Each structure stands twice: as structure tokens, then as C-alpha cells.
Amino acid sequence: MMSKIFATLSAAVKAVIAFVGGLISGFFRLLFSGIRNFFTVKGFFKTIAALLILIVVGAFGFLWYTSNYPNIPAYQEIAEYRFLNPSEDKRCVNPDPQNPNAEDPNNDLMIPAYQGWCEEERQAYYRIPQGTDFFGLQYDWMTALEKPVGKKPLVTREYMQQLGYVYDPAKKPNVNNPNDLPVGLTWHYTKEGDKILDVTCSACHSGQMTYQGVGIVVDGSPGGHAIPSLDPTQLMANSIVALTMTYINPFKFSRFAKKVLKDVSDDEYRAKKKRLRKQIGSTIWQALKYARYNLFLYPTTEGYGRTDGLGRIANTVFGDYMTPDNYKIADAPVNYPHVWDIWAFDWVQWMGSVRQAMARNVNEAMGTRARANFTHAEGLYQNSVMMSEMHCIETTLQHLEPPTWPEDLFGTVDRELAKEGEKIFDETCAKCHGPFPRMAVDGKVDYAATAKNHSCTTCHGPTMVGSDGQLLDLTNRKDHPPVQISPNDWLGQGPEFANDTSWRDQSERGGYWEMIHIPLDYIGTDATSALNMINYKYDLSILVDNVKKKRAEGSLLRLPDPKAIPDVTKAGFAQGLQYIGGEVRYKQYREWGLMGPTGYPPPPSEHAAAVADLDGFGEVDDPVAWRAYRPRPLEGVWTTAPYLHNGSVPSIYQLLLPAEERDATFYVGRKEFDPQTLGINVEKFKGAFMFDTSKTGNSNLGHEFNDGLCGDGVIGYEIKERPGYCRQLTEQERLSILEYLKIHTDGKRPDPESKPHCENMTWPDKSSATFSAADLVPSTKKQGGN
């Protein structure tokens, strides 16, 4: 009996070996006979066939490997979630009460707000879309997709958390999140009724840290994923690969269609399935087109938690949406900034380049692939940016508070030590990090405070080096960028500003906190981001030609302001986006009936207040590109590692060291908090991304506390008896600053004075969709297609 079984088994094994061997030897025979007779027709095709087989088998093997053994960080289960900064009163309705008995005094029907938010605001921030569209990927596709090889689902909690995406701590799907996707992944509708996957603000600007198995929710803190990555193990590329495999493999497609079209009635099914197939094909095609141009534009790998924001916005808006001539190398990845206080800033972005919230948001949405048409006159400026939704998000953020240090989790704060740190902070750090309140009591600008807060050395260092690297010529104040230092005293107010009141206007309305710009030559941090923004020029002529065409037909659309853009083929990054973003913004305002007969901001009208509110405190969109970076207030900054704009320093402790003592390489991809150094654990681990500070854009120099002359990257600690000279901090001083930063507050937070402005929001109402995929296709082509 046994021997019979054995004989059968061995025969089976032999057969398999013979079969596989036959396949392999057959392949090689095909290949070699092809190569030998390569110059005959038969031989040529044999070779090609053999190579094709090799490629297909190789690709399949590769996909099988990446599907099952991707080189990404290991999964870390989160047993418990913690929120920070509970409010004193229980003002929020508990969405998931454990003890709903109203009679019981210990009921948990009402709970505190965390970071100033109740569940309603949190859900709004997590899921309200902004209009982004990644190649037409649809919301329902994400959960229906299988891994490129095999039948396992692609998007699982485990996989997504490995990639650094975070999940709603509520742990179960809700109406805003029916498919249980990570925070920030949501949907919007097109006119055709398609439910497009929408990557919204919170995808990158809401994070969680882990600490010994506890997930710490820090709303508004930087995200930790690598969403723009074209690495096939990362979400976007993997989805496209999986979609391609679905397209190729009819069985896979049937399974996919069954899941996506589960609510479709039988008689409609065939037609819908056909349409679905067409849509998938179109998405794959768009993604390939994107990859063709974008594959080599990002030589410095961004890794987890970073993206070259400005560079990608430019390549999308000026490149993808206009002309391939505008693609520029974007080698300056930056951290996702934290957002619990940005609404109060009068300058945003790491370089402090943009003033107006709505301008920044519109451009950011387009940079994150919200659709827009600039290339053909018909439907010019049609776009999928959802401005009322973004306004709701922006105003919801006004109520978000910074995280506070949970002493029960991370240990008590040594108040004595913190007091020492506070002293150093006040005399050194606060000089730049502020905050500097702009509004005095009765809504007027408090110039006395401004003057007290800033002297020339605040921005230029004790050695007074200008942004051009030259020692400052104090007599030549006209060359200074326009900065107001008292009611009638301006730096840089040359004659050209005599009739230009925009600067004055905006400084009087202004944000709540005044931001300053520290020239590169003083702060010494990686210059690539700033220099790319300053140096790159873009060709807008396609768009401008379309505008001219429209104007010839009687339209009132604006041409670029020749003062900002003297040559439309060489528009600066800031000016170009100001123009394009402005047009997109005004188009929406016009459609809402907020603009005068010219279609542009009229002299004060009954709508002025509404427009000012949408823009954000009536800020004028007047971007700058200076050789400088902008310091920001530091409350809650301990949750935002790694540090500096490019994420090149793993902890605040290292940020207080001389640059040569910082880690030259370290490993990112998880956010395990380290309460000792106020940073994240950056030891090597499997699947980590190695951050190499020697690469372009990754420099960890600057912002150092070192010995020698202050300036050129050395920002402290200034020796009191020797002005202009700096020294290292002592270990005790470093520890005291760390201790203080745990409890540092920026003082009284400005009061936004209102509820979030979400009345005009239409999401998720299907019928209100404004954008159609057809808007992007020129009408001639449309007719040709019919």
C-alpha cells in the first residue's frame, strides 16, 4: 500500500519536474534557435517571442514577490488610541457611548473635546473632499482591488498602516467612511455620477504617533506616508499596477466588477461593466502618461512623510496641465507641515511665500491633481477644485488646538528644569519663533509690538548679513523687501510703492500672527527648496493664447499683470501660480455671484465681506519668493518630528546640537515617539527608508547651536558678553529646553470668533457636482469621437 502511494507520488513529482523542465528547455531552445538565426524572419520572431515570454514571466514573478513580500515597514498593531488636549468641560456628544444610561451619573454620553474638536469637526476634517482626482481612480475601486497577483484585497488596514497611513480611531466605518479607508481618503462626484477617490487635506496633515503600542492621535500633525511615491510597493503605483492586472486578466476583472457594481441591477450590469472597463483603461492610460513625464523628475527620493510640495504643484499645474516643456527637476522634498495654527499666520509655506489661505488651498488642490483646463479655450479654467468644501476645512482648522503633553503616558514634566528652559527660549528661540500678535485690542495693528519684536538682527543675525549674502548696507533700505515697521515707516518702500496700497491694505487687515522671514545665509538650512522656487521659470503661453482668444470673443478674462509677469514664457513660480490660482478662484466667485460686472473684485460691494471671508481675513494674494525660510510658533512642536523643513533632523535634541553631531543617515517609516529626545525612533528596521543627509535637498546643516560667529547656519547660543559670537548649548541647557518645549504655549490663541463656515458646502450631495471628465476634452475632439 505504502509503496504504491510512494510510487504514485514519485511519478507525479517526476511528471511535474518533466513538465517544468520541458517548459524551461523549450524556452531556451526557442531563444537559442532564435538568436542563432536572428537574421532570418523566423529566427527574429522566435527571439522576440522568447524575450516577450521572459518579460511576462519576469514581471509576473516580480509582482508576485512585491504582492507577498513588499519591502515596507512591519505592521504594528495599535491596541488603544489616545487623544490629546482634553477640554475641561464635557461639551461633546460621545458618538460611541459605553454607558448610555442617562440616569447613571457615570454615563459617558458627553465627553470632552480633544484638541478643541468634537467628533463632528474631526469627521469633517478627516473626510470633506477638496476635489482631487488621481487619474480617475474611484473610491469604490480601492476596496475592490486585489493585489496584482493573487486574490487577496490590496487595501487593507494592515497594509495601509504599514505604509504610514492612519485610521480613524473610531475603528469602524461610518457614513463618512463607508469603505474603511485611512484618514484623508474620501470621494467626490463628477457630473457623470462617478465617485472619484479624493485625497483631501487630512491625508497628509493629520498624523498619529505610536508609543509602546498606544496610538496617539495628533490631529493636524504631519502625515507619515509616501503617497506620491512611484515605488510599486506604495499605494498609488501599486493600485495602478493592480488595476492593470485587473484590466488584463478577465477573471480578475469579473471579480472586481462584481464588487464595484454590487448595487447594479442585472439588466444594467452588462453596460455598466463595459463602462467600468473603459474607465479603468482610461485611468491606466492617464497614469502611464503621468509616469512617462514624472518618473525622473524627483531624483531625491522623498520617502515617508515628505513631498516636494512646491515642485510637485509646479510640475502638475505648469507641466501636466499645460506643456511638458515646463517640467522641472524637483529635488527639494519637505515635511508635511502641521496645521493647528497656520490659519493665524500672515505668511504660510516653509518659505513664507504665500499670504492668502484660499490662494494657497486652490493651488495645493491643483497640485494634488484636482483637474483643471488651461489648454483649450472652450471651458477655460473649468476645474474640479471644491472651494466651499475647502473653506469649511480651513475654518474648521481655526478651532483645532495644539496637542498637550500627556504626563500619564510620557512621564511628568520637571517644572524646575522647564523654567530654566523657558528663560533660554524667551531670550533665544522666541526672537524668531514668536508668535508676534499682529492685532492689538481694537483691531488695529500694534506697531509698537512689531517694533519691539523685531530689530535688524532678528532676521539678519548679529553679524547682519543680507539675503544676498552681502553685509547689509543699512542706508539702502529701498532694496529691502517691503516690511512695515511702524505706521509710516517702511523698509523697502521705494517710489514704485507710492501708488500701490496693496501692502498697506493687507498688513492692516492681515493675519493674526506676524510671520518673519529669516534669510538663508543666516539660518543656513538646505537651500534647494527656496532656490528652486526662485529660479524656475514657466511658459504660460498656451494659457495666455487661450485667454486672448476668449478676449477676442468679448470675454473679460484677465491677461497676466505685466508687472508681475513681464514675459509669459518665463513666469516665476509664485507669479504664475498667483495668476492661475487667482483666475480659478475668481471663476468660482463669479459663479457664486460674488463678483462685479467686470468679473473681478469690484470696489467695496455688498459681497466684499463674503469674499474677504472666503479668501481668509481679506488677505490679498501677493506671493513673494525670497531667499529665506519662515520660522513658526512652536506650541505642540514635539509631535512633528523629524524636523527642519526637509525633515533632516530626527529630534529636537539633535536640532539643538552642532550640525556635525547630528545623524548623517537615519531610518524613517514609522513614528515611534521618543520622549527623551522629543523625536522619533530612527534606528534601522526592516522596510525602513534610509534618509541620507548628503543628497541634494536633504542637508541637515543650519539652525545649529555651535561655537563661533553667529550666522551662516549658527543661530545660537549668543554669548552675552561677546555680541555676535555664539557657543554650543551645554547638555543641561539642551535638556532644559526640551523640558520646556513639552509645556510651551504660544500664549493666548487668537479667537476665531465664529463656527466653521460650512453652510455652503454641498458634499456629499451627488447632484451638486460641477466638474465633468468631458470638460477636459476639446470639443473638436469630442465631435471627432462621435
Partner 1 sequence: MWNKISKWLKRLLYFVAFYALMAAVIFAWQMVSHRLSDPDADLVDKSELDTQNRLTQNAAIIEQVREFVTKNRTPQYERDAHSKPHGCVRATFEVFDTQAKYNYGIFKKAATYEAWIRFSNGSVPVLDDPKKDARGMAIKVMGVPGEQLLPPILSGATQDFVMINSPAFFIRKISDYLDLEIRTTQGKPFTYFLGDYYLNPFKWKLRELYLGLGTRKKPPATPLSAQYFSMSPYKLGPHEIKYSAKACEDIQAPGINRDDPNFLREAMKKVLKRQDACFQFMVQVRDPEARMPIEDTTVIWSEKKSPFVPIARVHIPKQEFDTPDQNAMCEALSFNVWHGVKEMQPLSHVNELRRDLYMHTAAYRNVRNGVHQDEPTSWCDSLSKYCDEPEPLEVIEPIVIEEEELGVEEVEAEAVIEE
Chain residues binding partner 1 by CB under 8 A are: 462-465, 468-469, 471-472, 520-521, 524, 527, 531, 534-535, 627, 659-660, 701, 706-709, 711-714, 719, 722-727
Nearer to partner 1, 131 or 352 (CB): 352
Q: What is the DSSP string of 202-250?
A: HHHH-EEEEETTEEEEETTSPP---TT---TTSHHHHHHHHHHHHHH-H
Q: What is the DSSP letter of 113?
A: -
Nearer to partner 1, 409 or 531 (CB): 531
Give least dist CB 521 to partner 1, A: 7
713 close to 660: Cβ distance less than 8 angstroms: no
213 close to 231: Cβ distance less than 8 angstroms: no
Give least dist CB 661 to partner 1, A: 10
Nearer to partner 1, 668 or 701 (CB): 701
Nearer to partner 1, 468 or 731 (CB): 468
Nearer to partner 1, 389 or 718 (CB): 718
Give least dist CB 333 to partner 1, A: 18
Give least dist CB 527 to partner 1, A: 5
Give least dist CB 713 to partner 1, A: 7
Nearer to partner 1, 196 or 625 (CB): 625
Nearer to partner 1, 213 or 723 (CB): 723
Give least dist CB 529 to partner 1, A: 12
Name which of 418, 317, 314, 410 is nearest 372 in CA terms: 317
Name which of 486, 484, 485, 458 is nearest 472 in CA terms: 458
467 close to 491: Cβ distance less than 8 angstroms: no
Q: How far apart, in Å, are the Cα atoms of 735 and each of 146, 657, 679, 683, 717?
A: 50, 11, 13, 21, 14
660 CB neighbour count, 10 Å cutoff: 10
C-alpha cell at 383: 476645474
Nearer to partner 1, 472 or 557 (CB): 472
Give least dist CB 456 to partner 1, A: 10
130 close to 370: Cβ distance less than 8 angstroms: yes
Give least dist CB 473 to partner 1, A: 10
Name which of 685, 643, 566 is nearest 74 in CA terms: 685
C-alpha cell at 493: 518702500
The rounded distance, in Å, linking the Cα atoms of 481 and 352 is: 13
Give least dist CB 572 to partner 1, A: 12
Nearer to partner 1, 242 or 714 (CB): 714
Nearer to partner 1, 401 or 712 (CB): 712
Give backbone dihedrals phi and psi of 513, rounded to 5 degrees, phi first: -115, 135
Q: How far apart, in Å, are the Cα atoms of 600 and each of 126, 222, 607, 608, 628?
A: 33, 36, 12, 11, 32
Alpha-carbon torsion (556, 562, 564, 568), positive or negative: positive
710 close to 726: Cβ distance less than 8 angstroms: yes
Sequence-separated (6 or more) residues with CB below 8 Å from residue 724? 462, 463, 709, 710, 718
Nearer to partner 1, 466 or 511 (CB): 466
The rounded distance, in Å, linking the Cα atoms of 181 and 188 is: 14
Sequence-separated (6 or more) residues with CB below 8 Å from residue 56? none
Give least dist CB 352 to partner 1, A: 18
115 close to 400: Cβ distance less than 8 angstroms: yes
Give least dist CB 139 to partner 1, A: 44
Nearer to partner 1, 110 or 471 (CB): 471
Nearer to partner 1, 487 or 708 (CB): 708
Nearer to partner 1, 311 or 581 (CB): 311
C-alpha cell at 86: 482634553
Give least dist CB 785 to partner 1, A: 45
C-alpha cell at 568: 509669459
Give least dist CB 710 to partner 1, A: 8
Give least dist CB 728 to partner 1, A: 9
Query: CA Rg, the chain, in Å?
Result: 29
For the packed helices 41-68 and 2-36, what is the interaxial angle rounded to 10 degrees? 130
Give least dist CB 316 to partner 1, A: 24
40 CB neighbour count, 10 Å cutoff: 11
Q: What is the DSSP string of 46-96?
A: HHHHHHHHHHHHHHHHHHHHHHHS--SPPP----EEEE-SB-SS--EE-SS
The rounded distance, in Å, linking the Cα atoms of 642 and 671 is: 9
Nearer to partner 1, 207 or 519 (CB): 519
Residue 520: strand, helix, or coil: helix
Q: In the Cβ-directed half-sphere of 617, how many Cα atoms lie within 13 Å?
A: 30
569 CB neighbour count, 10 Å cutoff: 12
Give least dist CB 696 to partner 1, A: 11
Pair type for strands 80-83 and 214-218: parallel
The rounded distance, in Å, linking the Cα atoms of 131 and 763 is: 10
554 CB neighbour count, 10 Å cutoff: 6
Nearer to partner 1, 399 or 627 (CB): 627
The rounded distance, in Å, linking the Cα atoms of 630 and 624 is: 12
Give backbone dihedrals phi and psi of 111, rounded to 5 degrees, phi first: -130, 165
